Amino acid sequence: MQDEDAARLARVGPPGCDWLYRLLQATPEPPPFGIETVRIAGQNVPVTETVVDRTPFCALRAFEREFAPSFAVTPAAHAAHAAHKRTTHEQAARANATRPARGRHAEPAARAAEPLARACILLVTPLAGHHAVMLRETVETMLEDTDVFVTDWANARDVPLAQGKFGLDDYVLTVERFLRLLANRGVHVIAVCQAAPPALAASALLAGSSEHRAPLSVTLMGGPMDSRLSPTMIDRLAATHDIEWFRRRLIDTVPDGYAGVGRRIYPGYLQHAAIVAAHPHRQLALESRYWTSRMSGSAQAIASTLRSLNEYCAVLDMDEDYFLDTLRIVFQEQRLARGTWSVGARRVTPAALSATALCTVEGDRDDITGAGQTHAAHEVCTDVPDEKRMRLTIDDCDHYDLFTGPRWHEAIHPALRRFWMSNTPGGGQPSR
């Protein structure tokens, strides 16, 4: 059944048939982030969402807050804030118009002379089958602290072959490009799951460059920094088969009807099937909450639970090179942990992060990233001062609890907020 047929059936079906649209779609589309306000100091503060930079394989989404009345911002400061945002976005647009699609990662046009004192957060999302919107709850929470920028990776089926291939090195260079764009504001990087190794690599490359524009901090959550430690089922699978085994069994070609026709990809539906098979309880919990909300009759509850279900079920395809690179570099050769990773002609040297704070977060019930794998980042970041390090291991916490639900809200985010505040120049920032 084609996606448009499923949509038509959902429209003409009886009430409660909206779940059928998601079930019958071959590749469900992700819902928009749709974050219009954030609650700060008891007040709803408007949030604007824009795309401030873009490559063929990724958009950098900005979620920026208007000043809350409780911030007691002067009119002059408010005007400077608005002017800075306009200038930043205009510069990004001009840079995008003149920048070649691939091969260049130069710094964009100069930013405003007086950048905001408040730091921002760059959320580096995993490119592992789900769309960035699955981290909507994470974004919404961090907006209580400051503006949030999000890497929104493209579905490889929608990227024309003419734009070239996309490997793990390209992922690193894309993150490095975005870090340069945000560097003048001061940026706290947070990377989840698969995003952790390339996010640390990008931060280290920038720190080791002549620009010396390292982020203020890097937070890694549930990421395979050294998959040799406490290997999980995923780690063992990657280690027991060579790359050609994965290429023969998992790589497919984008068919007619999509912009990326002919592109070799790892299909998102295969990744989603693997995730559901490994964690059926999460899918069942989302389905259960949805049907419970339908029985309650609450339109707000129905909309919320359906959104969560749609965010989880919407998947994307990954470029063949990226998928196989990740298997080889991260899971088979552990190049970051061994100190053998080079991006192009540049060696990734985490020791360059001597002025950047480092936080690692693990869940004690995480069966995707094994115990100690994320904390291993501290072993390679040898020059981070002790007072700038933090390790968190959260009790009764699985992989998804790291960025959603009560563990995230009650244990992890408050600790991260204190960590960011203590590592932002001027102190007390980001502020609620």
- Which pLDDT score, from 0 to 100, does residue 291 have? 62
Query: Tokens 């007086």 belong to which residue?
Result: 114
Asked whether the predicted pLDDT for residue 236 surpasses 50, the reply is: yes
- Which pLDDT score, from 0 to 100, does residue 55 have? 98
Q: Which of 4-18, 44-58, 196-210, 223-237 has the lowest mean pLDDT?
A: 4-18
Listed residue (152, 123, 153) closest to 140, CA to CA: 123
Query: Who has greater pLDDT, 284 or 206?
Result: 206
Which pLDDT band holds residue 29 (cuts at 50, 70, 90)? confident
Q: Which amino acid is at 31?
A: P
- Range picked from 29-43, 73-87, 338-352 for highest mean pLDDT: 338-352
Beta partners for residue 40, in sequence order: 43
Query: In what side-by-side order are the strands of the sheet with 264-266?
Result: 252-253, 264-266, 318-319
- Which pLDDT score, from 0 to 100, does residue 274 have? 66
Ramachandran class of 73: left when φ > 0, alpha when ψ lies in -120 to 50, beta otherwise: beta
What residue ranges do the domains of the chain occupy?
A: 41-63+75-266+318-422
Helix or strand (DSSP H, E) at 64: strand 58-65
Neighbours of 203 (CB within 10 A): 30
Asked whether the predicted pLDDT for residue 140 surpasses 60, the reply is: yes
187-192 and 120-124 beta bridge pairing: parallel
Q: What is the DSSP string of 27-52?
A: SPPPPP----EEEETTEEEEEEEEEE
Q: Which of 62-66, 76-80, 242-246 has the lowest mean pLDDT?
A: 76-80
Listed residue (363, 375, 371, 344) closest to 404, CA to CA: 363
CA angle 114, 119, 124 (to 5 degrees): 125
The pLDDT tens digits for 378-394 are 999 999 999 999 999 99
346-347 and 187-192 beta bridge pairing: unpaired
- Which pLDDT score, from 0 to 100, does residue 299 have? 75
CATH, range 41-63+75-266+318-422? 3.40.50.1820
The pLDDT tens digits for 252-271 are 999 999 999 999 999 988 87
Query: Who has greater pLDDT, 248 or 23?
Result: 248
- Which pLDDT score, from 0 to 100, does residue 121 have? 97
Do the Cβ atoms of 321 and 265 come closer than 8 Å? no
Q: How many Å apart are CA 268 and CA 160, to the nearest integer?
A: 17
Which pLDDT band holds residue 117 (cuts at 50, 70, 90)? very low
Query: Who has greater pLDDT, 231 or 98?
Result: 231
Which pLDDT band holds residue 215 (cuts at 50, 70, 90)? very high
Residue 247: which residues within 8 A CB-CB, separation 6 or more?
A: 320, 324
Residue 4: which residues within 8 A CB-CB, separation 6 or more?
A: none
- Which pLDDT score, from 0 to 100, does residue 210 have? 83
Instruction: For the chain, give the number of residues.
Output: 432
Mean pLDDT for 239-247 is 97
Q: Residue 189 corresponds to which tokens in the numbers above?
A: 């990087």
Backbone φ and ψ for 55, nearest 5 degrees, come out as -120, 170
Asked whether the predicted pLDDT for residue 303 surpasses 60, the reply is: yes
Asked whether the predicted pLDDT for residue 78 surpasses 50, the reply is: no
Query: Who has greater pLDDT, 180 or 88?
Result: 180
Asked whether the predicted pLDDT for residue 14 surpasses 80, the reply is: no
Rg over alpha carbons for the chain, rounded to the nearest Å, is 21
The pLDDT tens digits for 158-212 are 999 999 999 999 999 999 999 999 999 999 999 999 999 999 999 999 999 988 7
Query: Who has greater pLDDT, 349 or 80?
Result: 349
Mean pLDDT for 219-236 is 97
